[in-house]
Amino acid sequence: QVQLVESGGGLVQPGGSLRLSCAASGNIFSDNNMGWFRQAPGKERELVARITGGGVANYGDSVKDRFTISRDNAKNTMYLQMSSLKPEDTAVYLCYLYTGLRHYWGQGTQVTVSS
């Protein structure tokens, strides 16, 4: 089993920054791919960013050049540094880990961008 716990969400003004964390535990390996999706009310779940075990990252078009995904395999933790936040970034952010057989998901953390 794998457990994922997100943290770091909150309320931030437009143009501000937040850093999300996703701590993984259980039967995991450093080469497992991980990533972030987000879910806004009335919208489909959207890929935000993903990162391989080796650190190769991909981003959704709406967050390129504003968000940075990273991971610390020694701490079994993945991060999402979000900058230049916009109101349209408001969503529940969920992290995932893919073992090669299935995806595991965290419970999500709310990010609200509003003045």
The C-alpha atoms of residue 92 and residue 99 are separated, in whole angstroms, by 23
Phi, psi of 89 (to 5 degrees): -80, -5
The series of mean pLDDT values per 10 residues for the chain, 115 residues long, is 95 98 88 95 96 95 97 94 98 95 95 97
Look at residue 100 in the predicted model and tell me its pLDDT.
Answer: 87
Return the closest-CA partner of residue 37 out of 72, 3, 78: 78
Look at residue 30 in the predicted model and tell me its pLDDT.
Answer: 78
Q: Do the beta carbons of residue 45 and residue 38 sit within 8 Å?
A: yes
Look at residue 27 in the predicted model and tell me its pLDDT.
Answer: 81
